[in-house]
Each structure stands twice: as C-alpha cells, then as structure tokens.
Amino acid sequence: MGKFETCIIAGFVGGIARGLSSFLKNLKKDSKIKFNYSYFFTTVFFSGILGGIAGALADTGWKTAFLAGYAGIDFLENMYKSSPLSQVLKTAK
C-alpha cells in the first residue's frame, strides 16, 4: 500500500473517530434520545469520507492525515481559504 492510500485510510479513520466522539458527546448530554441507526451510520460514514479527503490533501504522513481527518470539514475549509483560488474569487467580486 502506498503513502497516498495510507493517508486516505488514516483520514477516514480520523473522520470516523470524530463522528463517534460527537455522537457520544450528544448521547451523554441527553440520555433520553431515541437511537436512530440509519442517521448514526450515515453521519459516521460521511465523517469518514470527509476525513479521507482531508487526509489525502494532507499527504505528509499517516499521523497528520489522521489529525486532518479528525478535523475534517474544518481542515478543508481552511485549506480553501488559504488557497490561491480563494484569493482569485475574492478579487473577482
């Protein structure tokens, strides 16, 4: 397995960890919530997908990819804000 694939997998696992931690935090806050399996698995799966994308963009090592995956959408948003494309779109307005 190559470095790129390792970063994607590490990011995916980081995203899943973020999804699970958010779920457990909400469960702890309100224990009377009725558990919805489809919502839970969909949320965790998409957290993993975003984490995999963030991990692929990080592409420096599995540890950084895992952390990028955990940060997920926050990481992607900051990557966009610091990219040259963001600056071009701001000047076009």
pLDDT tens digit string along 47-87?
778 878 877 887 678 888 888 788 776 666 666 677 776 66
The total domain count for the chain is 1
Q: Find tokens 């590490």 and name the residue.
A: 10
Predicted TM-score (pTM) of this structure: 0.64
pLDDT greater at residue 75 or residue 41: 41
| DSSP secondary structure code for residue 60 in this structure | S
Give residue 48's domain range. Answer: 3-92
Distances (CA, A) of 42 to 4, 11, 39, 48: 25, 17, 5, 10
